[in-house]
Amino acid sequence: MTPRAKRAGVGGSHGDALRVAVREPPLEGEANAACVRALAAALGVPAGAVILERGARGRRKRVHVEGEPSGLEARIQALASDRAS
């Protein structure tokens, strides 16, 4: 995750991770909340379906997304190959 980005968005990859850029600063959980909302919107699931499991204090995060696995996997792969984040 990239906090304080010029443009917010989800797309592209960084190694085995999906890139997420948010405009919010990494203060008091603002960037983490924005990351969860951005992922939920990009994956087409409610924000409550995206749960931050690990990495609340770092740039690399692990999230759990509730939903239909094959549909989510296809959407994540499409986002990972998108370079227009």
- Cross-strand bridge partners of residue 62: 54
| pTM of the predicted protein model | 0.89
Domain boundaries, the chain: 9-81
- What is the pLDDT, as a whole number, of residue 9? 95
CATH class of the region 9-81: alpha beta
CA dihedral angle for residue 64, residue 30, residue 78, residue 45, rounded to 10 degrees: 60
50-71 pLDDT, tens per residue?
A: 999 999 999 999 999 999 999 9
- What is the pLDDT, as a whole number, of residue 83? 63
What is the rounded distance in angstroms from the CA atom of residue 63 to the CA atom of residue 60?
10
Q: What is the DSSP letter of 2?
A: B
11-65 pLDDT, tens per residue?
A: 999 899 999 999 999 999 999 999 999 999 999 999 999 999 999 999 999 999 9
What is the rounded distance in angstroms from the CA atom of residue 85 to the CA atom of residue 80?
9
